[in-house]
Amino acid sequence: MTAPHVEPTGPATTSSRGTRVLGLLTLAGLALLLGYALVWSPADIAQQDAVRLMYVHVPTAILAFVACFITTVASAMWLWRRSEGWWVLGGAAAEVGLVFTGICLLTGSIWGRPTWGTYWDWDPRITSTTLLFILLVGYLALRRIDNETGDAAQRGMRGAIVGLLLFPNVMIVHYSVDWWRSLHQTATITRLDPTIEGTMLFTLMLGIVVFGLLFTWLLVHRFRVGWLEERVGATGLDEALLERRAEAGITVPAGGSA
């Protein structure tokens, strides 16, 4: 039986009161962050004003890692519970994570030119982050590939197994600067005695909070988009079944189920 098409009465969007409040907070935070990152925070003695790239590069890197963690947890939960919510969350976090990883790579490359003298090097941190980016692309591609039988469970299984690999790869990215010789600096803020302080440390923390708000806002919207895609996909399947039955001359009584 197919559900009759109902004209939506409310606003047909992925917004809610919560996301609107979060969106306004994010915009205000971004304005404040731009003030601190580009104007009020001091230049670094060694890097001069190139250090201002840190306030976008480091937060996006951290949130890319958070996204991978969410996808790995969602994949594990999908393998355990097989619920649609975990499947949708895994895909949403991976897509937002891909955007943040891409920005992290690009801003890191731009920052590398004035500080290291090169846009790119086969450095362990840069190379492992690029592999993470490729892994995210592969994960998202795998989720979209239908197998020959159209078996959703098999498609989900393949996606979830790749999803499980994301966070272990993040650990390789994180520890790569300790395990191998690297151009990239070691941990700056995750150690007990951070190597930056004052307004620079405040601006970096503000960047993490503001980009965190933006990440959360995007994740909620992207989750709802994924949820809607599943609903539309299910409706499309029902319609296709009806068409096939009509072609075969099988009639379904009005109000009855097939």
Partner 1 sequence: MIAMTHVGYVAAGWGIALVTLGTYTFVTLRRGRRLAAQVPPEERRWS
Site residues (vs partner 1, CB under 8 A): 3, 5-6, 8-16, 18-19, 34, 37-38, 43, 48-50, 52-53, 56-57, 60, 99, 102-103, 106-107, 110-111, 113-114, 214, 218, 221-222, 224-225, 228-229, 231-232, 235
In sequence order, the 6+-apart residues with CB closer than 8 A to the CB of 229 are none
Helix, strand, coil share (%) of the chain residues, nearest 5: 75, 0, 25
Q: Which is nearer to partner 1, 65 or 160 (CB)?
A: 65
The CA distances from residue 49 to 102, 113, 210, 211, in Å, are 23, 13, 21, 21
Enter the DSSP assignment of 6.
-
Q: Which is nearer to partner 1, 208 or 214 (CB)?
A: 214
CB of 114 to partner 1, least distance (A): 5
Element spanning 39, H or E: none
Q: Which is nearer to partner 1, 82 or 231 (CB)?
A: 231
Backbone dihedral region for residue 240 (phi beyond 0: left; psi -120 to 50: alpha; all else: beta): alpha
Tokens of 252: 């379904």
Q: Which is nearer to partner 1, 26 or 160 (CB)?
A: 26
Query: What backbone phi and psi angles, to 5 degrees, belong to 48?
Result: 55, -135
CB of 34 to partner 1, least distance (A): 8
CB of 110 to partner 1, least distance (A): 4
CB of 155 to partner 1, least distance (A): 20
Amino acid at 179: W
Q: Which is nearer to partner 1, 26 or 72 (CB)?
A: 26
CB of 207 to partner 1, least distance (A): 11
